[in-house]
Amino acid sequence: MPELPEVETIANGLRQGGAGAPSILNRRILSALVLWPGTIAEPSPEEFVLRISGQSIRQIGRRAKFVVLQLDQDVLLVHLRMSGDLLVEPVHNTVPLHHRLLLALEGGWRLAFNDTRKFGRAWLTSQPERLLGELGPEPLEPTLSAEDFHRRLLANRRQLKPLLLDQHFLAGLGNIYTDEALHRSRLHPLLPANMLSLEQASVLLDSIRAVLQSGIQHHGSSIDWVYRGGDFQNHFQVYQRDEQPCPRCGATIRRIVVGQRGTHFCPVCQPAPPEAGAA
C-alpha cells in the first residue's frame, strides 16, 4: 500500500504528532509486545523485545518506503508493505484485531503497527545500511540530476513500468505513483528504458517529482478502509480509472497487466512503443 508519499506522511505524523496524539520523538520505549511473530524480521521476537525495551526514539525519518526510527543503540526499520500502518494511541485502548506489534511508550501512549495482510516487517538492527544501502537513489533528492537519471535508464533494457517499481533502480515509487508519473510524462509503460532521450528522461524525472510532491502535499492516498487522512486519490489521472476518459485528451483509459501489476494508461497520450503489441 503505502508508497513514498504515504510513508513520508506517516513518518511526519510520528515526528510532529497530530490527531490528538503527541510526537513520539524522544520518548522511551518501556516494553514491547509481539502479537504476530512473523512481523519481526530480525532479530528473533524474543531478542527484539529485550533489546528494544529501554531505548528512546531519537530521530524519525524515511528512506525509500521504510520508516526509520533511530533509537539509542539500534535503528528500528519498519516496512508497511501492502496494508501496514503506524498509529499512536492510548496505551490502554482495546487492541484492534489487526495490530501486530505494540511498543509501550512513556506518558501513557503506545506505538502500534497495524497490518491486515501481515506482509509488513520490522527490523531492529545496529547496521541499517545492510538493508538500506542497496536501494536506488531518492527521487526527491536534488543531487539526482537528469543526466544521472538518463544514464541509469540507458543501462537498462527493461520496460519502464517494472523498472520504476524496482527499488534498486529508484527508491519509493509504487504502483499508483508510477502510473501517474508515466501518464504525466506521456510515456508508455512498456517502453524500453534505454530508448529514452535525455529530454524524455528529464521530463520523466520532473513528472515523478511533481507527482510525489503532490502526493505528499495531499498527505498521501486513501484508497479503501486502510487509510485515514490523505486525499490524493481524488487527483488520480489514470490509476484505477480504466474505462473512464483521460483528463487530458478524453480518450478512454486502458488497464493492462505488466509484471503482474495492474497498469493504467491513456493510449492516446502515451502511444505504444513499436512492437509492444496493441494494448
Partner DNA sequence: CACGAGACCTGTTCGC
Partner DNA sequence: TGCGAACAGGTCTCGT
What is the binding site for DNA (CB under 7 A)?
1-3, 6, 38, 64-65, 79, 81-82, 97-98, 116-119, 156-159, 162, 165, 167, 174-176, 220-227, 230, 240, 258-262
Nearer to DNA, 1 or 102 (CB): 1
> What DSSP character marks residue 261?
E
Nearer to DNA, 29 or 253 (CB): 253
Work out the number of other CB atoms within 10 angstroms of the CB of residue 243. Answer: 8
CA dist 64 → 24, 123, 135, 159 (Å): 21, 15, 7, 21
Phi, psi of 83 (to 5 degrees): -135, 15
**Residues 6 or more apart whose Cβ sits within 8 Å of residue 176:** 3, 221, 236, 239
**Residue-wise DSSP of 156-186:** --SBHHHHHH-TTTSSS--HHHHHHHHHHTT
Omega cis (within 30) before 43: yes
Nearer to DNA, 79 or 110 (CB): 79
**Shortest spacing between CB 163 and DNA, in angstroms:** 7
**Shortest spacing between CB 29 and DNA, in angstroms:** 25
Residues with catalytic function = 2-3, 65, 261
**Shortest spacing between CB 85 and DNA, in angstroms:** 9
Nearer to DNA, 55 or 270 (CB): 270
**Shortest spacing between CB 93 and DNA, in angstroms:** 18
Task: State the Cα–Cα distance between residues 233 and 201, nearest whole angstrom.
Answer: 26
H or E segment at 197?
none
